[in-house]
Amino acid sequence: MKPTIKSALFITLFALSAVSNAQDAVPATTPAADAMPTVTANKPQVILHTSMGDIRLQLLVDRAPLTVRNFLSYANSGFYSDTIFHRVISGFMIQGGGFTVDLEQKPTNQPVLNEADNGLSNDRGSIAMARTNNPNSATSQFFINHVNNRALDHRGKNSAADWGYTVFGKVIAGMDVVDAIAAVDTAPQPPIPRDVPIVPVIIESVEVLSAD
């Protein structure tokens, strides 16, 4: 069955329950310009150029190699250009990377294996992969945690929920932009699917920073 806007790679109902269990937001620290972490092979960086400002991410190859390679493949191909943050829940997370402004889902590559058992937590400012109820179903969609969402962390492999959501990096600049996106007005009811920003928040491009 062809996925729809309501089902395709959305966080599962388990994850939604984390909204009420999420810990209080912890202010994210943004390094000063002269203290910005160095781009390295194991810690590449990307900049999400969005319609509301830039978000700079440090990716952690040593902790989630398959996931980072998957994300960079989409980024380098231009896949993320002109996609939107299609699911925004203040006090939880902002999710994007799969739909156009017209809410058309983009075709993706094969899913990537779940790497949530890597010691990284879904803390405020971390970036993780979205998926369906199948733990190994993540493709292009990702989310940035707006608060500490440790209920989304790996806890075992007894159920889909226990597998958790793979964290593969963190915001190192632009958390104020994440906060601004989380605060936008979203659709409460049809015809726009729930939690979709009424005014589109567009990922205009993703810039991959070179280690050179």
Domain that holds residue 128: 40-209
What is the pLDDT at residue 31?
54
**26 has a pLDDT exceeding 70:** no
Domain-located, residue 12: no
Q: What are the pLDDT digits (tens) for 115-150?
A: 999 999 999 999 999 999 999 999 999 999 999 999
Q: What are the pLDDT digits (tens) for 80-94?
A: 999 999 999 999 999
Domain-located, residue 10: no
Q: What is the CATH number of the domain that holds 80?
A: 2.40.100.10
Take residue 71 and report the two structure tokens written for it. Answer: 């994300």
d(CA 69, CA 37): 20
Domain-located, residue 95: yes
Domain-located, residue 186: yes
Domains of the chain: total: 1
Beta strand extents in the chain (DSSP E only):
45-50, 53-59, 83-89, 93-100, 126-129, 142-145, 167-173, 202-209
Domain-located, residue 22: no
Structure letter (DSSP) for residue 197: B
Domain-located, residue 31: no
